[in-house]
Amino acid sequence: MPTRPIIGIIGNNQSLSEGFNAHVSAHLTSEAVAQAAGCMPIVIPSDPRLVSTRELLDLCDGFLLTGGRPNVHPEEYGEDATPAHGTFDRQRDAVTLPLIRACVERGQPFFGICRGFQEVNVAMGGTLWPEIRELPGRMNHRMPPDGTTEEKFALRHAVRFTEGGPFHRLLGNVEVMTNTLHGQGIKTAGARVVVDGHAPDGTPEAIFINGAPGFTLSVQWHPEWQAAVDPVSRPLFSAFGDAARAWSDARHGVRKSA
């Protein structure tokens, strides 16, 4: 068996120069999986013609649902597409949404980030706002258009968790500071989706699946940024890695020494 649990990182479809298409994932995401979670990252092509839910479940010990510029298509939650919904990736929708539901049922770990956070909500029957900043009283959660990478991922607002909830217990604080680089957000929470953390303007920022037997924490911000050293990011990835190790041990019949 592998020495480290295998984490499937859901890639994004992207056109490169000269018309070449690619399945891509950011270096910092793989680094977070390897360095902060202690697992082996592999990038999963987001194309249902190439991979199946069953194969992915058998191959991987957990899944990281990454961010991405295209949004979940609103038809997935019963709404019509408008210009405000932006661009879409129907192939990724077709891979991730059934995968999330299967993981919830099996107890197989997943960690949702940004678009991945939104995918979890949609997979469980929830809906999304197409543009948070257009709602009365909401701040602009989008990535700053200018500046260095450090400036774009800088801490910009607080997230307050439910006292005694899983995020509070894991992070040891009821409130933390996070970055923010998203345009959409949760409108209605899906079945069993518990919103466990909010931004000051009321935007949902942290969720988990009620009654799920496995790790289902998901966040709207980007904890993969400096995950190995950030005091908020590292515990999230560490807990995700622990859950993947437990799943790997169980499926390989590894017994813990007394």
Instruction: Note the pLDDT tens digit of each residue in 152-210.
Output: 888 899 999 999 999 999 999 999 999 998 989 999 999 999 999 999 999 999 999 99
248 or 140: whose pLDDT is higher?
248
Q: Is the pLDDT of residue 254 over 90?
A: no
Phi-psi label, residue 128: left if phi above 0, alpha if psi -120 to 50, beta otherwise? beta
Can you give the pLDDT at residue 258? Answer: 40
Can you give the pLDDT at residue 85? Answer: 87
Q: Is the pLDDT of residue 221 over 90?
A: yes
**Helix H or strand E encompassing 29:** helix 27-31
The reply to whether the predicted model has a pTM over 0.85 is yes
Q: Is the pLDDT of residue 216 over 80?
A: yes
Question: Nearest-CA neighbor of 204 among 223, 183, 222, 189?
Answer: 189
Residue 176 three-state SS: strand
Q: Is the pLDDT of residue 66 over 50?
A: yes
Q: Is the pLDDT of residue 1 over 60?
A: no
pLDDT class of 213 with cuts at 50, 70, 90: very high
What are the tens digits of pLDDT across the range 13-61?
Answer: 888 777 788 888 999 999 999 999 999 999 999 999 999 999 999 999 9
What is the spatial distance between Cα 201 and Cα 186, in angstroms, rounded to a whole number? Answer: 13
Kindly state the tokens that stand for 13.
Answer: 């479809």
What single-letter DSSP state applies at residue 69?
S
Can you give the pLDDT at residue 86? Answer: 82
Q: Is 118 exposed, middle or buried (0-12, 13-18, 19+ CB in 10 A)?
A: buried
145 or 206: whose pLDDT is higher?
206
- State the catalytic residues: 114, 222, 224
What are the tens digits of pLDDT across the range 68-103?
Answer: 889 999 999 999 998 888 889 999 999 999 999 999
pLDDT class of 256 with cuts at 50, 70, 90: low
Q: Is the pLDDT of residue 2 over 70?
A: no
